[in-house]
Amino acid sequence: MKTENLRNLMNSGKMVKVMGAHNGLSAKLAENAGFDAIWASGFEIAATHVVPDANILTMTENLNVAHSINKSVSVPVICDCDSGYGDINNIAHMIKEYESMGISGVCIEDKPFPKLNSFLGEGQKLEDIEVFSEKIRVAQETKKNKNMVVIARIEAFIAGQGLSEVLKRAYAYKEAGADALLIHSKKEDVSEIYEFCNSFNENLPIVVVPTTYPNINLEILKAHGVRLVIYANHGIRSSVNAMKETFENIIKNGNTTNVEGTISSMEEIFRLQGTGKLRKPSYNLQK
């Protein structure tokens, strides 16, 4: 049902707002805030394990977190699956495993395995177009639920390539069967995104990740054909700041008096955990 909901959202004509999460609690908070879907963020999950976002964690480790996220929310979950954890055989295995966990969508990027986070370094290597196109075809052939969404993430702008290379890849990936295209850019403005949208003459949902261009106008993005916007790392970044401030305050003052007014109450945590739904046993062991 959630998978069908994601497909319907993508085709609804509205701007779908997606928040990155790294565990069930962050996903639940995003759902409560009103986001339409959750992005099981590879960057955020790697950060919680205190390892670089460079395919250090295995597919299974990421899948376990994604499964926990999916169980915690009623909205669809899209998983950041990097470059697919290997070749086409890894892609087929990945799709089977993620689909079995009820994941609504996966996103794979056109960089070789192991990948490196898009905001690290310059001139990152790109996967051969035909090799990546085959990954998309295999993903679509493997899935049993036709509504499961396969997003092709184009990293050509990230790698320093121009619009012609991005368009070449976009048309190839559409032909291979991608359900949507994620166009990534690390410019501090949205110019590359608009340039692509104005040149890509196909009716295919466009996805963006506005990490470096925060001042975007969602209505203008929508008018350019963008259908999903993913805030892919704001959950972990905000939580790190909040925890740092709390921990440093406690060390400085030797007590928690000054932080009690800024942190969640125990009751709020109990509510998020669903503690009020716990059942009392009906049996009585007293004689």
Q: Which domains, ranges and CATH numbers included, belong to the chain?
A: 2-232 (3.20.20.60), 240-277 (no CATH)
What is the Cα–Cα distance from 164 to 263, expressed in whole angstroms? 49
Q: List C-alpha distances in Å: 81 to 66, 106, 233.
A: 10, 6, 15
277's torsion region: left (phi>0), alpha (psi -120 to 50) or beta?
alpha
pLDDT tens readout for residues 106-116: 999 999 998 88
Q: What is the pLDDT of residue 146?
A: 95
Q: What is the pTM of this model?
A: 0.93
User: Does the structure show a pLDDT above 60 at 222?
Assistant: yes
CB atoms within 10 A of CB 226: 24
| Joined tokens for residue 266 | 């125990």
d(CA 135, CA 243): 40
Known catalytic residue at 110: no
| Between 169 and 121, residue with greater pLDDT | 169
Listed residue (208, 125, 207) closest to 160, CA to CA: 125
Q: Which two tokens stand for residue 54?
A: 């460079």
Backbone angles phi, psi at 269, to 5 degrees: -65, -45
HSE value, Cβ hemisphere, 13 Å, CA-based, for 265: 3
- The pLDDT score that the predictor gives to residue 114 is 87
Q: Is the dihedral of CA 45, 20, 97, 173 positive or negative?
A: negative
The C-alpha atoms of residue 14 and residue 17 are separated, in whole angstroms, by 9
Rounded to a whole number of angstroms, the distance between the first and last alpha carbons of the chain is 48
- Catalytic residue from among 53, 82, 110, 179: 53
Percentage of the chain modeled with pLDDT above 90: 82
pLDDT score of 273: 86
With beta carbons less than 8 A apart as the criterion, state whether 172 and 131 touch: no
Averaged pLDDT, 91-109: 98
Which of 21-35, 208-222, 244-258 has the largest mean confidence?
21-35
